[in-house]
Structure 1
Amino acid sequence: MKNNSISKKDLRKNRGGIYSIFFILAVILSSVSCVFDDGAQIVSGPYKNLSIYHINDAHSHLTQAKDGATKKYYGGASRLKTLLNKTRSSESIVLAAGDLVQGTLFYNFFHGAADIETFNAVGLDAFCLGNHEFDGGVDSLFNYYSKSSFPVLAANINFKTNPSAAALVKPYTIIEKNGLKIAVIGIDTPQITSDNPKLLNDITISEPALILKQYAVELRSGVDLIIALTHIGYNEDLKLASEIEEVDIIIGGHSHTEVPVPAAVKNKGGICMVAQTGAYLKYLGNLNLKVCPKDLRLAGTPRYIYESGGLDYIGEDITPDPLVESIVSVYEKQIGENVKVKFASTANVLNGNMADNRKSETNLANLFADAIKNLTNADIALINGGNFRESITGPDITYENIYTAAPYDNPVVTIELSGAELIEDFKMTASRYDGDWGGFLQFSKGMKVIYENHAFISAALDGVAIDGARTYKVAMSEYIASGGDGHSIFASKKQDAGAIIKISDAVIGYIKSLPQPIDYRAEGRIVINDPVSNAFKTLLIPYMPPRR
């Protein structure tokens, strides 16, 4: 029988050669980015850990919000900070994808100051502008974001009238973490100027795909990972991910889409992961990656490997961070308890649901439209469905309820329109309503408008058909009168601001004048005869396209 054992002498003799072989193998393995075993991706070699934490569309929800379905409280900046305290490390970054502001009394009272101080304390590595950052105009945007301690990004926005804002807002930033260079490119929605044409004097917005491609190509050779931090909506993010191979990750916002697990989108360069958290600080998003430094990556191997990701619920059981809590409390006390005072009551829930107000008549929209008509003595009052954010559940109605249900507190104005111009605008509305477009019009008492299969059928005031040759006095928000949300027919008309009363003040005064409790209901002011298309929307749309 042959003895295959190795003698100690032979072992000593060959030890040098064996060590040389192991050394060579070690060098080879250290340069291998990954290996594949029956399709499974196994990390080895120089890949480095990177965790991306992200939020979007906080909308000034600095304190907790109440979930209408579960009746439990969630969110709040101080609880977000606690989660980040537990997870943040030298291997992580924190990003915010637009619309930090607008949506609660913190913005109505402080116009961004409360939000910026709070998120400075939370700690962000980068932020891209959203559409609501422009609600107060470019000068206001600069006034509060100039105090931010984090980079403010928007590669596709050109500031024409405010050089200071132009200098403040950068197209991208490069973050160095754990030996990696990470480029973050900001992209905002072109919807800003179509929704608010007055901003055309101050900014121009380029198409996202064109600009993102330009910067991604420019940066690709000098960084290890490229992240597009966008505020254009989930649908558009998926499209960008499929088209722009130089981008590795898209962290998005604007459509308020809760993406439970980041979507993997294939393109020519490999895989692009797309993530979004919904809105109002309900979740903290996370992606955990292995990223290869560019100088160590072998040809044919991926720039990064996605390990895990998802959404962490920011529940009421999380202990608030004391520093952030103290900052928010100071602003909360300044708002004061006066806004929480009951001033009226309601017999019904006043429906401020976002989707409902963008596709059908609601009792809350009826109430607001009637209040505007009552204030102005107009023939007709209009209000856009995108004005509404939350329902008033009752039975008590507080000042805070009004501000929170409809936070876009524009002045009321009147304009004169011919019946033909009204009908033309109603036709445009008929072609666009889908449950997501914020320009869907709601009407004051006496109006009846009928749509069918996205076509305008008829409109009547007090039972009489709208006369194309007659001139009507029409009340609305200054935003809509300026052509906002696509109502371009209104933009050329001379506005009469009257006593310059804000919508909220008009509504509060009107409610106080009514018998209590108020009993507002949907009553057939808007009739939509297209049940088939509505059924398809319910069945086939798993996420929400961009919102105002």
Structure 2
Amino acid sequence: MGMSRREFVQVLAAASAAGLSLGSNLTRAQSAANLYDLPKFGNVHFMHFTDCHAQLKPIYFREPSVNLGFGGQLGKAPHLVGDALLKHYGIKPGSREAHAFSYLDFDKAAAQYGKVGGFAHLATLVKQVRASRPGALLLDGGDTWQGSGTALWTKGQDMVDACLALGVDVMTAHWEMTLGEARVKEIVEKDFDGKVNFVAQNIKTTDFEDPVFDAYTMREMNGVKVAIIGQAFPYTPIANPRYLVENWSFGIEEENMQKTVDHARSNGAKAVVVLSHNGMDVDLKMASRVRGIDAILGGHTHDGVPVPVKVSNPGGVTLVTNAGSNSKFLGVLDLDVKDGKVSDFRYRLLPVFADLLPADAQMNALIDKIRAPYETKLAEKLAVAEGTLYRRGNFNGSFDQLIVDGLIKMKGAEIAFSPGFRWGTSLLPGQAITMEHLLDQTAITYPYTTLTPMSGEMIKTVLEDVADNLFNPDPYYQQGGDMVRVGGMQYSIDPTASAGNRISDMRLGDKPIEASKTYKVAGWAPVSEAARDAGGEPIWDVIATYLRDIKTVSAKAPSLPLIKGAANNPGIGS
């Protein structure tokens, strides 16, 4: 049974933290009423979350202070941070929304507004939205079964059970694939078994190019036929180990997307949405080239974008969104379909504030049950953070800095590389770093650490390759992730330069790195089978040992490259 808005506000008021003054209770209830008051609109309704990275409990999450765009992407969503972002969307500085969408005053705002996300709080919001929107579908954009210790240890079962309880209707994927083909198929066929449609128009078998999953699902909502097309992460076998999905091919598959849209339309779809894990820049390009998509509900790049971007194409206009990460947001898209087509829409990206949304009792009980066997292991205190620890951003985050520092020390290396992963929760100054926090940054199925002799020339090649993935002017060649995190050395980067010419002035201390000289480079998460077979110890064991030894992680700014050509760029914070 759904709650009325009045009942919802009463529940919120009652659920405010005990011990607060009546004024505080009322203020919170009023904040919740204002933030989550979503008048019903139209006759087709979608809820969308993405990139939760297996975070079942509320967390802190610092939005990026560096999200650079150049050329046609300069000054446009999602390449806006801090003050530029608030100004662009008319968000009041210092407000709850400012904390949700920007990194500004992160420590102070996090202490004031509390944690975000958590499936029990998300479940309350989902139920509330469903109550006012009959037939509303809940779409999961992927990166759901990876990102925590429990997801790793249960091979994603914790998240599968939580998503079934949440009422997910349709899903696509990326990091799910790192559990391997057999496990993905097992979940889709046995656990989902028709309850959740797992869709991906761009995954085919490598031998005969047969579709591996349904390209789309057709649903009828309030008398309107709607199609939801799946777009899995196109570069999965490049960004992650090929051997985990050796029988499947991926790719953008733009032509096939057009055919799929046309097929859905010819079968009676009056509204077509794409559930995408492309990343926002790729979605924006696809929207400009494929006809007949009403909206792209996007993920992968973890961008919290409060207003859809309207993209013109030969068939009309496509709305492009991106719904953040870590179960921190729920997007709600309402379409008004009249005379066989979408005539109007409303969209809200709702931040999930754990202090404003009471925990759903059933989901809370499930989460407690899931975590019970692992709580002691997860709760081990490894060290204390004197400063904020975070990851998200184009270059080194402070948690990445901790990891590369630990690799250099524990591996006896001169330089360390850590992948430009976007997932990973944040910690406030003075918080204990637990094993759970460390696993939030490192829990993957190929966690092997490496120590490799590399020439200066090879080091430059590695950095150039990753820079091209991130800053290629053509979004279709941007293969996901942020810049590789670097420890021990300094360098300059010009994102606007041509491929192979972006990296310069590489130094180790006060000495230039020489092309012909060999250096000891530590790393982790290698994608090759050879590195897997060599079997270096898991990254979490290496860094846990390092943290137990140092006991305190001092507050310091992460080492960033010198960025050229980015003066006055609204994608970099002051």
Same fold (TM over 0.5): yes
Aligned pairs (5 A) from 1:10-25: none
Aligned pairs (5 A) from 1:447-486: 447-451=489-493, 455-461=502-508, 463-479=510-526, 482=528
| Correspondence for 2:368 | 329
In 1, distance between residues paired with 2:558 and 2:129?
51
| Correspondence for 1:20 | none
Following superposition, the deviation at residue 465 of structure 1 comes to 4.1
Of 216, 221, 226, which aligns to 2:266?
221
Whether the 8 Å contact between 1:352 and 1:405 is mirrored in structure 2 is no
| Correspondence for 2:118 | 76
In 1, distance between residues paired with 2:344 and 2:281?
21
Whether the 8 Å contact between 2:147 and 2:423 is mirrored in structure 1 is no
Q: Taking structure 1 as reference, are residues 502 and 387 closer, same or farther at Cα in structure 2, changes over 3 Å only? A: farther
In 2, distance between residues paired with 1:157 and 1:51?
27
Residue 370 of structure 2 corresponds to residue 370 of structure 1: no
Residue 157 of structure 2 corresponds to residue 113 of structure 1: yes
Residue 95 of structure 2 corresponds to residue 63 of structure 1: no
Of 122, 139, 142, which aligns to 2:185?
142
In 2, distance between residues paired with 1:497 and 1:464?
35
* Structure with greater Cα Rg: 1
Whether the 8 Å contact between 1:81 and 1:324 is mirrored in structure 2 is yes
Q: TM-score, normalised by structure 2?
A: 0.72
In 1, distance between residues paired with 2:402 and 2:61?
24
SS at 2:196 equivalent = coil
Following superposition, the deviation at residue 506 of structure 1 comes to 0.2
In 2, distance between residues paired with 1:388 and 1:283?
15
- Return 153-162 or 276-285, whichever deviates more: 153-162
| Correspondence for 2:36 | none
SS at 2:227 equivalent = strand
Following superposition, the deviation at residue 260 of structure 1 comes to 2.2
| Correspondence for 1:193 | 237
SS at 1:533 equivalent = coil
Residue 556 of structure 2 corresponds to residue 517 of structure 1: no
SS at 1:511 equivalent = helix
| Correspondence for 1:423 | 460
In 1, distance between residues paired with 2:205 and 2:428?
42
In 2, distance between residues paired with 1:119 and 1:92?
16
Q: TM-score, normalised by structure 1?
A: 0.75
In 1, distance between residues paired with 2:558 and 2:140?
41
Aligned pairs (5 A) from 1:138-217: 138-146=181-189, 147-148=191-192, 149-160=195-206, 169-196=213-240, 198-199=242-243, 201-217=246-262
Aligned pairs (5 A) from 1:230-309: 230-292=276-338, 297=339, 303-309=341-347
Q: Which amino acid aligns with 2:180?
A: G
* Unpaired runs of at least 5, structure 2: 1-40, 63-105, 473-477
| Correspondence for 2:140 | 96
Q: Which amino acid aligns with 1:438?
A: G
Q: Which amino acid aligns with 2:229?
A: I
Q: Which amino acid aligns with 1:96?
A: D
In 2, distance between residues paired with 1:234 and 1:187?
12
| Correspondence for 1:411 | 448
In 2, distance between residues paired with 1:502 and 1:162?
37
Aligned length: 464
In 1, distance between residues paired with 2:262 and 2:211?
23
| Correspondence for 2:381 | 342
Following superposition, the deviation at residue 439 of structure 1 comes to 5.3
**Identical-pair percentage:** 22
Following superposition, the deviation at residue 354 of structure 1 comes to 1.0
Higher RCO (Cα < 8 Å, 6 or more apart): 2
The alignment's C-alpha RMSD in Å is: 3.3
1:202-260 CA-partner distances (Å, limit 9, x unpaired):
32123242221011112212222222111112233233333322222322212222232
Following superposition, the deviation at residue 57 of structure 1 comes to 1.6
* Unpaired runs of at least 5, structure 1: 1-46, 483-490, 541-548
Q: Taking structure 1 as reference, are residues 185 and 470 closer, same or farther at Cα in structure 2, changes over 3 Å only? A: same
In 2, distance between residues paired with 1:368 and 1:507?
7
In 1, distance between residues paired with 2:376 and 2:443?
18
Q: Which amino acid aligns with 1:332?
A: R
In 1, distance between residues paired with 2:143 and 2:226?
23
Following superposition, the deviation at residue 78 of structure 1 comes to 2.3
In 2, distance between residues paired with 1:120 and 1:440?
35
Following superposition, the deviation at residue 432 of structure 1 comes to 5.7
Following superposition, the deviation at residue 143 of structure 1 comes to 3.4
In 1, distance between residues paired with 2:178 and 2:509?
35
1:409-465 CA-partner distances (Å, limit 9, x unpaired):
7111233433332233234455566699635233444x3434456533333446554
Following superposition, the deviation at residue 187 of structure 1 comes to 1.0
Of 366, 386, 400, which aligns to 2:436?
400
Q: Taking structure 1 as reference, are residues 450 and 193 closer, same or farther at Cα in structure 2, changes over 3 Å only? A: same
| Correspondence for 2:48 | 54
Following superposition, the deviation at residue 52 of structure 1 comes to 1.8
In 1, distance between residues paired with 2:433 and 2:145?
24
Q: Which amino acid aligns with 1:104?
A: S
Q: Which amino acid aligns with 1:538?
A: G
Following superposition, the deviation at residue 375 of structure 1 comes to 3.5
Following superposition, the deviation at residue 61 of structure 1 comes to 1.8
SS at 2:249 equivalent = strand
Following superposition, the deviation at residue 307 of structure 1 comes to 4.1
- Return 107-116 or 190-199, whichever deviates more: 190-199
In 2, distance between residues paired with 1:539 and 1:344?
31
SS at 1:217 equivalent = helix
